[in-house]
Amino acid sequence: MADLVIRNARLVDGSGATQRMADVTVDAGQITSVDAVGVGSSSHAGRVIDADGLLLTPGWVDVHTHYDAQVSWDPWMTPSSWHGVSTIVMGNCGVGFAPAHPDRHEWLIELMEGVEDIPGSAMTEGITWDWTTFPEYLHAISAHPHALDIGTQIAHGPLRAFVMGERGASNEPATADDIAGMARLVEEALRAGALGFSTSRTPLHRSKGGELVPGTTASADELLGIGAAIRRAGHGVFQFAPEHARLPVDEWPWMRDLAAITGHPVCVNLNQPDTAPDVWREVLGLLDEAAAAGVALYAQIAGRSIGILYCLHGSVHPLLFHPAYAEVAHLPMPERLLALAEPERRRRIIEDIPDDGGLFRAVVLDKLGRIYPVDGANIDYEPDAAASVAARADVQRVAPMQLILDQLTSHDGNGMIYAPFFNYSYGDLSMTYEATLHDRTRMGLSDAGAHCGAICDGGTPTFMLTHWTRDRTRGPRLALEHVVHRQTRQTAQLYGLLDRGLVAPGMRADLNLIDYDALSFEMPRMAFDLPAKGRRLVQKAHGYRATFVNGVQTVADDEFTGELPGQLVRGPQRGG
């Protein structure tokens, strides 16, 4: 007798094939049959769900997350598990927590805090540190139950500091012995179950103290030496964050050499900065050339504009740069709001331009046409210029700073303003649309678990359905089948997880049953639910009628069932 049959579902199976109505049978955590409606038998199933036309998909496979610390304390792995994700990959962008000598714990926390804006106090209180080596870190993860499956990569930052000590932490050049030592530990990590290796090449990634992530300036010899370890281990993605202008083009030669050495995917983050708004087109052209040559080079792209959510509880907002706000910024929120309503302080914020050498003008006043008040029930990630602070202030005949002040102090100090800084140079998501259709790009950069005080992108898998396949008005939409394929089978295959991301016999029963028409978001809010009452922006979804991980239901009508079937994913997985 089968454990479960889901009947009469609108199946989008993850392959990219056209949707169809189907009955899906699950037994012992595995899909055993996918039949036309009414063809299979469900009379002997332990449980039968009549989907009544609801959308059935594989569970989402999110390959770019930063739960490296949160995995120590959170069995639910939110926000990803609120959004239908059944498998996550962490250890991205060169930051992580293994290997780690005991005297490096605080340094690694400050590195992660600076790069990924995760509260250091939360990590200090929450990380268990019951490991030194990377294999021991994997064991620590596997010792605790979670709501979804977890894969991880070994990161360059901790690796360099572990092997080279202060020289590695300070980005000094690696010797031949250093490179050999790092390569040995990368191979050890991969053989123990790591899914890849990650590094960062961008000066945007800095520790809390301002230091570059170790590995940022690493030589090609160091990177190719680590690539040789990937080849010896027989698997592993090499993932990295580039400098967000010319680097993906300027460093293409070593990237090609690396992919040729490893024989496995090399995956670069690809965004559109305003300083080089068309470089992404060059990168897509180079990806085409690599594909034609049989070289496994890919680019990870985000599903939406990347930007900051300004709010008074957040890490940054426009008022921070004004002395009239700085005078009261230390106050608890109720008292702060009262102080900001005082007529003279309000006048100063609205009318006075600080004498700060032009900083306030550069970071606030010159950006008024590119920041957008957040209205209604959700964030508009593709806002029109007419919705900007500058445009609205002009229509309302008020000073822009008045609009900013009123917006941020609304909703008891929870009002928000959205400021995109990547992937919005054209004033729409046309870059994202084109890149999403390219054969050599992969869905990524949700950054779930990170940027707790400024960004709320962990819900990207849900956004891909609501915006791109259903609600977009400022350009063409994407096919539902394509979007599901992008964040299920395609992401799973990138990391060699061939047992998931597809609704087919023999595959893992990782499934989402979704009320597609009603799928929506709650308004983002600042929660103080991390260890040490650390803050994070959170955003839940509505419309996930059920999520199954390994055949066990973890979500029912957007709420957790209490089941924790998630496991550590050790290395590539064979297909069904």
Tell me whether residue 572 is in a domain: no
366 φ, ψ to 5°?
-80, -5
Tell me whether residue 499 is in a domain: no
Q: Average pLDDT, stretch 514-519?
A: 98
Tell me whether residue 152 is in a domain: yes
In this predicted structure, the answer to whether residue 294 has a pLDDT above a threshold of 70 is yes
Q: Average pLDDT, stretch 213-225?
A: 96
Q: Average pLDDT, stretch 118-127?
A: 98
Indicate whether 444 and 397 sit together in one domain: no
Least confident of 175-179, 447-451, 572-576: 572-576
Q: What tokens does 203 get?
A: 């000066």
In this predicted structure, the answer to whether residue 537 has a pLDDT above a threshold of 90 is yes
**pLDDT number for residue 243:** 76
Indicate whether 372 and 439 sit together in one domain: no
Highest mean pLDDT among 269-278, 391-400, 452-461: 391-400
**pLDDT number for residue 250:** 74
Residue type, 33: S
**pLDDT number for residue 576:** 76
In this predicted structure, the answer to whether residue 43 has a pLDDT above a threshold of 70 is no
Count Cα neighbours of 243 within 13 Å in the Cβ-side half-sphere. Answer: 13
Indicate whether 331 and 410 sit together in one domain: yes
Tell me whether residue 249 is in a domain: no
Indicate whether 277 and 409 sit together in one domain: no
**pLDDT number for residue 40:** 67
Indicate whether 139 and 162 sit together in one domain: yes
Tell me whether residue 568 is in a domain: no
Structural domain that includes position 205: 61-244+255-305+424-494
Indicate whether 209 and 280 sit together in one domain: yes
Instruction: Find the CATH number of the domain harbouring 109.
Output: 3.20.20.140
Last residue of a domain, one of 460, 494, 528: 494
Instruction: Find the CATH number of the domain harbouring 47.
Output: 2.30.40.10
Q: Average pLDDT, stretch 330-349?
A: 97
Indicate whether 47 and 89 sit together in one domain: no
Indicate whether 381 and 451 sit together in one domain: no
Question: How far apart are alpha carbons 92 and 201 in whole angstroms?
Answer: 12
> In the chain, how many domains are there?
3
Average pLDDT, the chain: 95
**pLDDT number for residue 244:** 63
Last residue of a domain, one of 374, 389, 422: 422
Q: Which of 528, 518, 522 is nearest to 379 (CA)?
A: 522
Q: Given pLDDT bands bounded at 50, 70 and 90, which one contains residue 251?
A: confident
Indicate whether 411 and 368 sit together in one domain: yes
Indicate whether 236 and 135 sit together in one domain: yes
Q: What is the pLDDT of residues 389-446, one digit of tens each?
A: 999 999 999 999 999 999 999 999 999 999 999 999 999 999 999 999 999 999 999 9
For 497, which DSSP code? B
Tell me whether residue 567 is in a domain: no
Contacts of 57 (CB under 8 A, 6+ apart): 11, 12, 13, 14, 84, 484, 488, 503, 511, 512, 514
Q: Given pLDDT bands bounded at 50, 70 and 90, which one contains residue 341?
A: very high
Indicate whether 22 and 87 sit together in one domain: no
Indicate whether 107 and 209 sit together in one domain: yes
Q: Given pLDDT bands bounded at 50, 70 and 90, which one contains residue 152?
A: very high
